[in-house]
Amino acid sequence: MTDIQLEEEDKEINKRFKAILKSMKDRMDEEDKELITRAFNLAKDAHSEVRRKSGEPYIYHPIAVAQIVADEIRLGPKSVASALIHDVVEDSDYTLEDIERIFDTEIAKIIDGLTKISNIFNQDISLQAENFRKMLLTLSDDIRVILIKLADRLHNMRTMDSMPEHKQLKIASETLYLYAPLAHRIGLYNIKTELEDLSLKYTEPEVYRDIVLKLKNSQTEALRYLKNFSNAIKKHLENDGLKFSIKERTKSIYSIRKKMLTQGVSFDEVYDKFAIRIIIDSEKVYEKADCWRAYSIVTDHYRPNTKRMRDWISAPKANGYESLHTTVMGPEGHWVEVQIRSSRMDEVAERGYAAHWKYKSDSSGQNKLDEWVNRIREVLENNEGDALSFVDEFKMDLMADEIYIFTPKGDLRILPTNSTPLDFAFGVHTDVGLRTLGAKVNGRLVPLNYRLKSGDQVEIITSQKQSPKEDWLNYVVTSKARNNIKSSLKSERKQIADDGKETLERKLRYIKLKPSKNLLQEMVKYFGTKTSTDLYYKVGMKIIDNNQLKEFMRDQNQGFYAYLRKRIIGRSKKDLDQAKKEESKQKKESAEAEQIVVFGPDEQKLDYKPAKCCNPIPGDQVFGFITATEGIKLHHKNCPNSIYLQSNFAPRLMRAKWVSSKKREYASVLVIRGIDTVGLVNKVTKIISNDLHVNIRSINIAGDDGIFEGLITVVVQDKMHLDKVIVQLRKIEGVSSVERRFADRD
C-alpha cells in the first residue's frame, strides 16, 4: 500500500475511535478516558500488521465491537477497554500477565474469559454444543464476558459478505441456534432481532431478499398508516395529562418469516406486520398506573383482540422485561400491535442487563437477572448428560416462554411453558419434588402430567413413602426436575441391584453353584441383559424369579451350549437371507438414485438415503449429512433439523445438488386451509387426480365453524411437479393457503 493510503487508513481508525469516546461521554471521567485510550493504543499496536478477509485493517473489528459495547449495550469504561483488546492475547505476543500489568486484574479476568471462548470456537470440531456449555461457564465469573462476546458475534455477522458460503452458513446457523436466544434471554432485544435477521440473510438468502423487498415497497404506505393510527389517539393521551412519545415500526424480517412458516401463510397474510410503541415519561411510582391509563385510551378507540393481551408489568419476564402488549383492529381492517411502557421499562427492554445498572434504586430487574444466572449455574453443575442434551435442556429450561404460577401462600414462581406440578415441586425444593404424591391446581386434584397455565395456584401433596418413578421423566420439562429424578432413580436402581446380587448369590449357593464370572456371563446371555448389574436389578425386582432360574439350570444340564449354538445358527441363516434381500433392494435403490444427487465440490455420486424428517424431492435445495451409522442422509435446506445440524455438526455436512430427474415417485405432504364450502373435497380430488393425474396417497380434511384444515399426501416426480399441484390447489374458491409440510425436528 502507498503511504497516502496508509495515512488515510490511520485517519479513519482515529475517527472511529473518537466516535467511541463520544458515545462514552456521559459515562466516563478523565481517568476512564485515559484507560480506554491505553486499550486502543495497545490494540492498534498488536493488530498493526493484520488484515481481515475483506482487506480492511483488523483494528476495525475491535473498534466496532467496542462501539457496540459502548453505544448499543451501554456498558462502562472497563468493558469498552476490554472490547478493544479482546483479541490481543490470542492474536499477538502479549500475554495475560501483560494485560494485568498494563491494566488491572478485573480487565485481565474479562480478557481471559474472552480468550478461552475464542480458543474454544476456533477449534475445528463439530460439536458446537460443547463449546456453548464451556462458554456459559464464564457466567459464573463475569457476565460482561458474554455481553462482549455477543457484541463480537454481532459485528462478525454484519461483516460476513467476504466469507465463503459454507462458512457463512455455519456461522449463521450457530448464531440462530445459540447466540440469538441467549441475547433474548439476557434482555438485549435489539441485538437478538438483528442477529436473527442477519442469520436469515445467510441461511435463506432468497427468502430474506424477498421479504426485504416487500417491506421496502410497502414501508412508505405502512408508516403513513401507522402515523394516522397514532394521530387518532395522541390528542386523547395529551388530554389525559400523559407525557409520551410514539414509535412506529414494522415487524422484523425473521419474525415475519417465522409467522409465515408456523401459520402456513404468505407475506401478505401475516396480519400484524404493523406495530407502534407508546413510551410514557413517568416517575417510577406512577408508571404502572400511567401505562394502564394509556392502555384504556387505546382500547377505547380501537377494538382489542382479547387473546393477544400480554401483561408483563404486573409479572415481568425473568430478564426484567416490562411492558403491556395488545393487538387492536385499526382502520381499513389491519391488526396493529401496541406496546405500552415507561421510559425506564423501554431502556431495560432495549439495553437488557446493562440498563439495570442505571436504575440501582430498583433492584427487582437486577435480582431477576441474578436469579437467572444462578439457574444457569445450577444447570451447569447438575447436568451429567452429553453436550447436545445439555443445550436442548438449556434452551427449553432457560430460554423458553414463561408462565407465572402461585404457591398456596400467593408467592409468584416463574416456570417454562408446558411445566407440570412436578416441575413446580422441584422448583420449590428438591425434597418436595422427590416426595410428591399428588397436586392440587386451583383447589382441584390433577394428575402429575397436567400442563400448568399462567395464573394457576399449585399445592403439592407429599408423602415420606413416595419416591420418583421412571415415567416421571416424561412429565417434566425443567432440567432441575429431570436431573434430580434421574439421580434418584440411579441411586434406587443401584440399591435394588445390590439387593438382587445378594439374593442371586444366595440362591446359587443353595443349589451348590459358585457365582463365577463365566456363570454370570452365561446368565447375562440367557436372560438377555446387557450387564451383570442389569441381571442383578431384574432379580431384585423379581422380574427374574425362581422358576426362570430353574429353567436356566435345566438348560445347562441338558446341553445349553448345543442348544444355544443351534438357536444362533438357525437365526443367523434367517438373518443372512433377510440381509441379502435388503442388500439387493438397497443396490437397486442406489442404482436408481445414483444419477440424481451429487455431493461435495467434486460432485461425486455417492449412496444416500432421503431424510424422513423432510423427504426431499428432485429440484429441492438440499444438503448431505454424514450420520454415525446410516451413511449419508439427504436433507431439504428448510428441513426443521437444518439449523440444528449446521450449528452442531458443520464438518459432517456435504454440499449436494440434483443433477437429473429420473422418473421416480416421491411422497410429499401438503397442508391446505380455507373456508369450508360444499363439495370442497370433490374439487380438491378432481384437480389432483383427474386434471393433474397425480396419485393421492392419503387425504384428511376437517372443518370447524366454517373453517377447514387438512393434510393431503401426494405422489409427485419432482419439485416442479409439486409446485404445479400447489398452484392449482390455490386457485380453488375458498382455499386460503396451500403449503408443503415437513416433519417436526427429530
481: which residues sit within 8 A by CB, 6+ positions away? 422, 423, 425, 426, 427, 433
- Which H or E element spans position 279? strand 274-280
Q: What is the DSSP letter of 307?
A: G
Residue 3, helix vs strand vs coil: helix
Helix ranges restricted to H, 123-158: 128-137, 143-158
* Rounded CA separation 151/551 (Å): 68
Residue 676, helix vs strand vs coil: coil
Q: Which amino acid is at 302?
A: Y
Residue 24, helix vs strand vs coil: coil
DSSP 527-581: HT-SSHHHHHHHHHTTSS-HHHHHHHHHHHHTTHHHHHHHHHHHHHHHHHHHHHH
- Which H or E element spans position 522? helix 517-527
CA-closest candidate to residue 425, choices 444, 443, 449: 449
Mean pLDDT of the chain, nearest integer:
80
Q: Judging by DSSP bridges, how do beta strands 412-416 and 622-626 pair with one another?
A: unpaired
pLDDT confidence of residue 363: 43
Question: Active-site residue numbers?
Answer: 90-91
**Residue spans per domain, the chain:** 3-203, 211-360, 367-478, 487-558, 594-657, 666-741
User: Do 147 and 401 form a contact (C-beta atoms < 8 A)?
Assistant: no
Starting at the earlier edge strand, list the strands of the sheet with 444-446. 444-446, 436-441, 458-462
Q: Which residues pair with 279 in a beta bridge?
A: 245, 341
* Rounded CA separation 376/186 (Å): 12
Helix ranges restricted to H, 420-516: 421-428, 430-434, 479-510
User: Do 635 and 611 form a contact (C-beta atoms < 8 A)?
Assistant: yes
Low-confidence ranges of the chain (pLDDT < 50): 120-127, 140, 357-366, 560-561, 563-572, 576, 587, 590-595, 661, 746
In the chain, what is the straight-line distance between the N-terminal and C-terminal CA atoms, in Å?
Answer: 53
Q: Which amino acid is at 735?
A: V
Question: What pLDDT digit, counting tens, does each position of 93-115 carry?
Answer: 889 999 999 998 889 988 888 87
- Please tell me the CATH code under which domain 3-203 is placed: 1.10.3210.10
The CATH superfamily holding the domain 211-360 is Beta Polymerase, domain 2 (3.30.460.10)
Cα torsion through 203, 205, 206, 211, rounded to 10 = 100
* Rounded CA separation 638/745 (Å): 11
* Rounded CA separation 643/623 (Å): 12
Q: Give the start-end residues of each E strand in 637-705.
A: 653-658, 666-675, 695-704
741: which residues sit within 8 A by CB, 6+ positions away? 669, 670, 671, 711
* Rounded CA separation 286/291 (Å): 9
* Rounded CA separation 644/649 (Å): 8
Give the gyration radius of the chain's Cα atoms. 31
574: which residues sit within 8 A by CB, 6+ positions away? none
Q: What is the DSSP letter of 744?
A: P
- Cell readout for 581 is 434381500
Measured over all CA atoms, what is the biggest interatomic distance in the chain, rounded to whole angstroms? 100
Residue 718, helix vs strand vs coil: coil
Kindly report the number of other CB atoms within 10 A of residue 517's CB atom: 8
Q: Do domains 3-203 and 666-741 have the same CATH topology?
A: no
6: which residues sit within 8 A by CB, 6+ positions away? none
164: which residues sit within 8 A by CB, 6+ positions away? none
Alpha-carbon separation of residue 376 from 42, 354, 381 (angstroms): 34, 19, 9
Angle between helix axes 560-593 and 546-557 (nearest 10 degrees) is: 100
Determine phi and psi for 410, rounding to 5 degrees.
Answer: 95, 5
Q: What is the DSSP letter of 743?
A: P
* Rounded CA separation 358/286 (Å): 19
Q: pTM for the full model?
A: 0.62
User: Is the domain 666-741 a CATH 1.20.1250.20 member?
Assistant: no
Starting at the earlier edge strand, list the strands of the sheet with 735-741. 695-704, 707-716, 666-675, 735-741
Q: What CATH topology corresponds to 367-478?
A: Ubiquitin-like (UB roll) (3.10.20)
CA-closest candidate to residue 326, choices 195, 398, 233, 414: 233
Kindly report the number of other CB atoms within 10 A of residue 546's CB atom: 9
Residue 717, helix vs strand vs coil: coil
> Residue 262, Cα to own-chain centre: how many angstroms?
15
Q: Which residues pair with 458 in a beta bridge?
A: 441
Residue 278, helix vs strand vs coil: strand
